[in-house]
Each structure stands twice: as C-alpha cells, then as structure tokens.
Amino acid sequence: MVSRERSGVSPVGTRLGLARVQGASMEPTLRGGDRLLVRYGVPPRPGSVVLARFPDGTLAVKRAAGPRATRSGAAGWWLLSDNPDVGVDSRHRGPVPAEAVLAVVLLRVWPRPGRVAGSGPEPI
C-alpha cells in the first residue's frame, strides 16, 4: 500500500509527484516509509515499478509484470509484489485496467536516495 503525498507539474510539463510506501510487499526493493518520486502519465514497461489503484480503491506500488487483458477484454497490467509472501497483487485480484496504472516510479528520494530496480522508462 502507498500514500500519495503531493504532485505538481515540472517546468517541462511532466506531472511529478511523491508517494510514501506502506508495508512490506515490495521488500527488498522498497521498504515501508520509503518516499518515491513518480511520473504520472507515462506508460509502464514490463519490469517497471508503478503506482496503481486496485478496483477496491487501494493505492499500491507494484511491479508491472506485463500487459494482460482484464475480464472485460480491456487493456490492463499484471502487477506483482516483489515479496510474494506479503500483500495483495494481481495473483489475488486479477489484472488492473491500464488507466488504473497511474504513474511510474522514477527513484527513491528518502531515506536511501537512488534508482529503484526497473523504475522508470528513463531518468528525468
């Protein structure tokens, strides 16, 4: 699970935001309390770490394993936890609609700044 802290528009028009990780589902890549810089409106690639909203409204950081059609046949993504023994992901809830994948994680800004494995299509 994650909480969205704030978002804004950078000088070049890219929507950026901050998110805070809650829980252990993305360990060892991410830990509870990590703060992330995310970029909205960027399509994920397989392996990207993303910010997504599950159908029940839960906002979560997960790894985009790959594109997968939803039950209705619409475009979607199969999202997985890096720690398969903790948390809920597409193995429990099915594919997430493509429009529910809100942002791609670019990097961790606190407490251990650095790139997140598989994050972002390109650095900003």
Structure tokens at 78: 């199969």
Distance of alpha carbon 43 from its chain centroid, rounded?
Answer: 11
Q: How many CA atoms lie within 13 A of 50 on its CB side?
A: 31
Distance of alpha carbon 57 from its chain centroid, rounded?
Answer: 14
Say what the pLDDT of residue 122 is: 44
pLDDT in tens, the chain (124 residues): 665 555 554 445 579 999 999 999 999 999 999 999 999 999 999 999 999 999 899 999 999 999 999 999 999 999 999 999 998 999 999 999 999 999 999 999 999 888 887 665 444 3
